[in-house]
Amino acid sequence: NAGVTQTPKFQVLKTGQSMTLQCAQDMNHNSMYWYRQDPGMGLRLIYYSASEGTTDKGEVPNGYNVSRLNKREFSLRLESAAPSQTSVYFCASSEPGQGISPLHFGNGTRLTVT
Amino acid sequence: GQQLNQSPQSMFIQEGEDVSMNCTSSSIFNTWLWYKQDPGEGPVLLIALYKAGELTSNGRLTAQFGITRKDSFLNISASIPSDVGIYFCAGHQSGTYKYIFGTGTRLKVLA
C-alpha cells in the first residue's frame, strides 16, 4: 500500500543545473499537488493539477514547471536551479469528488542547490 | 501568499501533560485538517473537521472547528514521547482546490 511515492529522496544540484522530481500515487486520486516546505514557512503550494490534463499555478510557481503525465504521475521540473530553491518538496494527492478529501502526502525530496 | 496563524510555534512539555494548539485565519474555511509530521517524513492526517462547531476525537487527540469557521484547535491529552513532531493545521475553502497551511507547532516531550 504505497500511497504517494516520490523520487529521489535527496538531491544536490549546482546553480543552473536542471532536474525533475517524480511523484506517483496509487490511490486513483484525480487531484495532485506540489508543495515546498521551508523553516518557519509551513507548506506553500507551487503547482497543482485538479485532474488529468490540467495544471494551475499555486502561491510560488516561479522557477518551476509541472507535467501531469497521466492520472498517477505528476512531475516537477526545475529548469535552472537557484539556491533559493533549496527546500523540501512534497507531492500530495486528493480526491475532491467525494466530499472534501484530505491531502495525502509523500515522504518528500530534500533538495540542496549550491 | 495566504497562511494561517498557528500558535504556539514550539512547545516543550513533560510526558503526561496535556497540549493545546490553535490556528486562526481572517478567512472562512469549510474544512479544517490537522496533520503531524515526523522527522524525514511527509505530513500524516490526524483529524478532519467538516462542520462549524464540530468536535472530533482520535484517541488522545481532540480537535474542534470554530463556530466562526475562522479558527480551529487541537488538544493532545496525556502526552507521550512519540507525540514529538511538527503539527500543522490546514484550511480548505469550498470551490477551490487549494489547502492553506499553518506554519506549524513543533512539539517536544521530555520524559
pLDDT tens-digit readout, B27-83: 899 999 999 999 889 999 999 999 999 999 999 999 999 999 999 999 999 999 999
Count contacts between A and B (CB, < 8 Å).
65
The beta-carbon neighbor of B102 closest among A42, A48, A60 is: A42
Partner residue facing A102 (CB), from B42, B48, B102: B48
Angstrom distance (rounded) from CA A22 to CA A104: 16
Give the start-end residues of each E strand in chain A.
4-7, 10-13, 19-25, 31-38, 42-49, 56-57, 65-68, 74-78, 87-94, 104-105, 109-113
Q: Report whether pLDDT(A97) > 80.
A: no
Query: Does any CB of chain A come closer than 8 Å to the CB of residue B39?
Result: no
Q: How confident is the model at residue B94 (pLDDT cuts 50, 70, 90)?
A: confident
Instruction: Give the confidence band of B99 by pLDDT, cuts at 50, 70, 90.
Output: confident
**What distance in Å separates the CA atoms of residue B90 and residue A94, rounded to the nearest whole number?**
14
User: Taking CB atoms and an 8 Å limit, are A41 and B50 in contact across chains?
Assistant: no
Residue B81's φ and ψ, nearest 5 degrees, are -55, -35
- Pick the closest to residue B104 from B84, B89, B83 (CA basis): B89
Q: How far is CA B16 from the centre of its chain?
A: 19
With beta carbons under 8 A apart, name residues in chain A contacting B30: 100
Query: What would the pLDDT profile of A49-84 be if each residue is shown by its tens digit?
Result: 999 999 999 999 999 999 998 999 999 999 999 999
Say which DSSP state A103 is in: P
- CB < 8 Å & 24+ apart, contacts of A62-68: A64/A34, A66/A34, A68/A32
Q: pLDDT per residue over A4-56, tens digit each?
A: 999 999 999 999 999 999 999 999 999 999 999 998 778 999 999 999 999 99
When CB atoms are compared, the residue of B42, B97, B101 closest to A48 is: B97
Q: Which residue of B has its CA nearest to A93?
A: B97
What is the rounded average pLDDT of the residues B4-19? Answer: 94
Please judge whether A100 and B102 are an interchain contact, meaning their C-beta atoms are less than 8 angstroms apart.
Answer: no
Contact A100 B48 (CB under 8 A): yes
